[in-house]
Chains A and B, each alone.
Chain A
Amino acid sequence: MRHEPEAPALSEDEVHLLRPLEHAGPGYYAFVGVLLAVIAWGVIAYVVQLRYGLGVTGMRDYVSWGVYIANFVFFIGVSHVGALMSAILRITGAEWRRPITRMAEAITFASLLMGAIMPVVDMGRPERLWEIFAFGRVQSPVLWDILSISTYLTGSTIFLYLPMIPDIALLRDRLTGVSRWRRWLYRVMALGWRGTPEQWARLERCMGIMAVLIIPIAISVHTVVSWIFGMTLRQGWNSTIFGPYFVSGALYSGAAAVVTAMAAFRWIYRLHRYVTLDHFKKMSYLVLTLGFVYGYFTVAEYLTVGYKMPEAERSLLESLFAGHLGGLFWFAQVAGILVPLFLIILPTIPGLPWPRRLPVLRPQPIAALAGLTAVLMVIAQRLPPWLPQAALTAADIAGVLRVALWILLGALALSMIPVLHARPLLSIVVASVLVNAGAWIKRYVIVVPTLLHPYLPIQGVPWEWAQYRPTWVEWSITAAAFAGFMLVYTVFSRLFPIVSIWETREGAAAAQEKTGPAPHPAPGAGGQFSSAPQAGG
C-alpha cells in the first residue's frame, strides 16, 4: 500500500525539516516540563478561585473585569493574523509566504484556544456555562462572540489543516520509526492522500474557498470582541470606531507575533535556509504598514474625544494622559507603536554616522551603570529615614538616582541604535516583541481604566476596592495561559513540520521554471534556496 507515486526524494533541507519530528532533544523535554509546571500552577490557582470565589482576584464591584478580559482580547487579537494574513498572502499569490504561512496559521489555532478559555475563567459561575447554549440571548454581544469565535476556530482549524494534508501523507510514508499512536495519527489525518491529480485539484479548490471565507470571519471576530465594549455606554468604550480600531490592533499584534515565532523557530530548529532575513524584512514591512494604520486609529480615537474633552470622558482621559494610568498608556503608545516602527525603519536607513562619532555611547558600560544606579536607588528607598536634620535625606537621594536612571536608560536606548542598525534581524525581532508587550498593555488600558471611571464618583468603599491590583491568582492563570499557548505551539511543531514541505517545494519549482534550470538565489521567490547574507541574528 505504500506507494510513493510522483513525489521526488527529499532533499537534504527537507530531511532537516523532518528532524525535529523524529528526535526530540533534552531541551524539548525540559521546555515542555517547564510549561507543564507553569500550567499546573495555574490550575492550582484556578482551583483556589473556584473554591473561594472571584474574591481571590483583585477585581471588585468597580473594576469588575481585569487581566482575564485583557488576556481574552489579547489572545483573540493575536489569533487574527494567522488565518487572515496567510489567506491574503495566498490569494494575492505572494511567493515569499510559503515557509511562514503554517507558523502563522498555527498561532491562530493556539491563541484562539487560550482566548476562548479566558472568559470562562472569568465567570463567577462556570458550572452554568451550559445555560448560554440552552437559552442564550442573541441580543447579547456575548452570544455574537461565541458564535464568531467558534466559527473562526472551526474555520481556521480547517484552514490550517487543509494545506497540511500532503505533508501529513509524507509523514505517514516516511516516519515509520515513530510511536504507534503517531503513525495512527498521521494515517488518519492524511485522509488517504495519494497525491493524485484529482486530489490535488480538490485540495487547491478547498484551500481557495477557505482562504476567501476566512477573511470576513476573521474580521468579524475582532469586531464583535470590540463590541463587547462598544455596545456599552461607558466612557472610553462608547466609541463608534472600536470595531475597525480593534481589527487593526489585532492585525498589528498578530503580525508581530508571527515575526517573533519566526525568530524562535529559526533559532530553535535551525531554519536559516528557509526563514531568511528577506522573510523578516517582508514581514516587518507588513508590521510597519499595520502599525501606521493602528497608529492612525489611535490618534483618531483619542484626539476626537480629547479635543472636545466632554465632561464624562475628562477624568478618564486625564488619568490616561497625565494621571496614574499615564505610564501604561504612554508605554503602549511609545514602546508599542513609535519605537517598533522606528526599529523597523532603522535598518533601511543607509548611513547612520552620528552615534558612531560618540564613543561615550557604548551599550555595555551604560547598561552596567544603569544597573548600578537601579540597585542604589532601591537601597536608598529602603533606607530608614535617618538623620532627620540632614540636608539630603534618603528619599532625596532616591529621587536623584531615579532621574539619573531615566537619563541612563535614555542613553542606553540611544547607544543601541547603531547596534541595531548593524543587525537588521535583531532590530526587527526587538520591534516585534515590543509590539506584543505594548499590545497586552494596551488591552489592559482599554479594559481597566474605563471601569475605574464610572459616571458616579467612587465613594464610600474601602480604598482597595477603588483600585485594581491583580493578585497572584490572576497572574498565575495568565502565566498558565501563555504557557498553554506555547505548549500547543511547541507540541504542534513536534508533530508536524512547521514549514510546509510541499509548498516550499512547489515554490522552488516555480522559481526554477521562471529563472531557468540553474539554481539561482532568488530571495523573494521560494527563498529557502537563497543564500542571502545572514546578518545579525
Chain B
Amino acid sequence: MALSRRGFLRLVAAAGASLGAGGALRRLLGKAVPAASEGQTIPAFAADASRTGQLVAGTPAASVIPPLTVAPAPPESRGRRWVMVIDLARCDGCRKCTDACTAMHFVPFGQEWIKVYANRDNEVAGAYWFPRPCMQCDNPPCVKVCPVGATYKRADGIVIQNQDVCIGCRYCMAACPYSARYFNWVEPPHTPEETARPYSLDWNYPHRKGVAAKCIFCPALLREGKLAACAAACPMGAIYMGDENEDTVTNSQGETVRFSALVRDNGGHRYLEELGTEPRVYYLPPRNRQYPAPPEPAATKEGGR
C-alpha cells in the first residue's frame, strides 16, 4: 500500500485535529498549547523509505485526551506520538540496550533505565527475557503524584523528568508499578564528557544528588529521525520505535512496519495492562524463540511476583 501525497496530508490533518482537540481541553485546564498549524507537514519518522519500500498510510490518529499535566512538545516533535514495540521473541538477553543507554546518558552505577529481566509468567510457561524501559504511560501514576510537576507528560507522549525541579520526595518511585524510576542517593561520579554538556531535558544529564531519574525515550535522537540508544543498539532488532500518528515503527535492522498491524497481528500487549496506566510500550509475546531461554529465574519469587 503506497502512501499517496493526499493520504499523507490526511494523516497530518488528522494529527493536527487531534492535537487541536487536546489543545481545547488543555486551554480549558488553563494551559495553552500551540497546536500544529493547519497544512503544516511533518517529515516521516521512518524516513528510510528506500529500504523498506513505501511508508504505509496511517489510520487517522485517535484523538488523545491528555492527562492533567501536559506540556507542549518541542516544535520538532509536534504532532508526534512516540511509541515503542518490544518483540520478546527476539530478545536474547544480551543487555546491549542497557549498555548503550547507560553509555549515552552516563547513567550512574546501580541504575538501569532499560532493565532486562529474566521473567516467567507461571510454572509451565518458559522463562523469557523482558526489557523494561520507562513505559511512558498515557495515564502515568508518577506524573499524577508529583507535587511540583518535576515529571510531566508531554504532548508527544514522553514522560519527562526534570532534575532541575525535582525535590527528591520519591513519591514517583513509590507510585510507579514498573520499578522504572531511580534515585541518585549520593552524588554520582562524573566524567568530563558528562559534565561538558549543560543539563537538558533531552539528555537528562549531568546527574546530580537527591533527584529522581529515568528513561526518557531519547527525545533528541527521535527528533533527528534516529532510534533511541537502546533500540539502535539491539543486535536482534527486538526494539521498534516510531510515531503512533504515522502508524510506523522501525527497528535497528531497518525493518519498518505498520505499528497497528504489528501489534494486532502478533497479539501484542502492554505490561500490567490491567492497571490502566496505558503504557506507550507494547510487547509482542515470546513465541518461537530463536535463542537460549534465560536460566530459570529462581530469584523471581523472592521479590516480586
A binds B: yes
Instruction: Check A461/B110 contact, CB under 8 A, given A124-B209, A125-B210.
Output: yes
8 A/B residue pairs, CB under 8 Å, sorted by A? A122-B169, A137-B148, A137-B149, A139-B144, A234-B177, A455-B177, A457-B119, A458-B299
Q: Which of A294-308 contact B (CB under 8 A)?
A: none
Q: B277 — which chain A residues lie within 8 A by C-beta?
A: 233
Q: Would you call A53 and B184 a contact (CB within 8 A)? A: yes
A455 near B167: Cβ-Cβ < 8 Å: no
In this assembly, does A119 line the interface, its C-beta being within 8 Å of a C-beta of chain B?
A: yes
Complex interface: chain A residues within 8 A of B186 (CB): 52-55
CA A148 – CA B171 in complex, angstroms?
A: 18
Q: Is residue A452 within 8 Å, beta carbon to beta carbon, of the partner chain? A: yes
Interface: A143 (CB within 8 A): yes
- A137–B110 touching, CB < 8 Å: no
From known contacts A311-B305, A457-B301, infer whether A124 and B183 are also in contact, taking CB-CB under 8 Å. Answer: yes
Q: How far is the CA of A462 from the CA of B166 in the complex (A)?
A: 26
Q: A98 to B175: give the CA distance in the assembly, Å.
A: 45
For A144, the closest partner residue in chain B by CB is B147
A462 to B141, CA, bound (A): 27
Across the interface, name the chain A residue whose C-beta is closest to B147. A142
| A273 lies within 8 A of chain B by Cβ | no
Binding site of B, secondary structure by majority: helix, strand, loop or mixed?
A: loop
Stretch in A4-12, A58-66, A164-172, A522-530 touching the partner:
A58-66
CB–CB A64/B173 < 8 A: yes
B200 located at the interface, meaning its Cβ lies under 8 Å from any Cβ of chain A in the complex: no
Chain A residues 102 to 140 lying within 8 A of chain B, measured CB to CB, are 119, 122-126, 128-129, 131-132, 135-137, 139-140
Complex Cα–Cα for A122 and B174 (A): 13
Measured CB to CB, the closest approach of chain B to A453, in angstroms, equals 6
A141 interface residue, CB < 8 Å from B?
yes
Q: Give the dominant DSSP class at A's interface.
A: loop
Give the complex CA separation of A455 and B277 in angstroms: 14
Known: A64-B183, A125-B168. 18 other contacts (CB 8 A): A52-B186, A53-B209, A60-B185, A64-B174, A124-B210, A124-B211, A126-B167, A132-B147, A137-B69, A142-B145, A229-B174, A315-B303, A315-B304, A453-B305, A456-B304, A459-B297, A459-B300, A466-B303
A459 CB contact (under 8 Å) in B118, B144, B149, B165? B118
Contact-size category for B: 35 or more
**Given that A54-B210, A139-B68, A458-B299 are known contacts, is A65 also in contact with B170, CB under 8 Å in the complex?**
yes
**Would you call B167 and A128 a contact (CB within 8 A)?**
yes
A228 to B166, CA, bound (A): 18
- Determine the chain B residues whose CB is within 8 A of the CB of A312 once the complex forms: 305
Contacts of A55 in B (CB 8 A): 185-186
Shortest Cβ gap from A242 to chain B (Å): 14
Expressed in whole angstroms, the minimum distance between the Cβ of B137 and any Cβ of chain A is: 11
Assembly CA distance A315 to B305 (angstroms): 6
Name the A residues within 8 Å of B305 (CB-CB): 311-312, 314-315, 453, 455, 457
On A, residues with C-beta under 8 Å from B are: 52-55, 57, 59-62, 64-65, 119, 122-126, 128-129, 131-132, 135-137, 139-143, 228-229, 231-234, 311-312, 314-315, 451-462, 465-466
Q: Specify which chain B residues have a CB less than 8 angstroms from the CB of A61 in the assembled complex.
A: 110-111, 173, 179, 181-183
| Contact status A228-B171, CB under 8 Å | yes
Chain A residues near B224 (CB, 8 Å)? none
Alpha-carbon distance between A143 and B175 when the two chains are bound, in angstroms:
16
Chain B nearest Cβ from A202, distance in angstroms? 40
Report the separation of the CA atoms of residues A141 and B145 in the bound assembly, to the nearest whole angstrom. 6
- Most chain A CB atoms below 10 A, which of B171, B186, B304: B304
The 10 A-B pairs of least Cβ separation, nearest first, read: A124-B168, A458-B303, A124-B210, A55-B186, A55-B185, A142-B147, A457-B304, A125-B168, A140-B147, A53-B186
Q: Is the CB of A137 within 8 A of B146?
A: yes
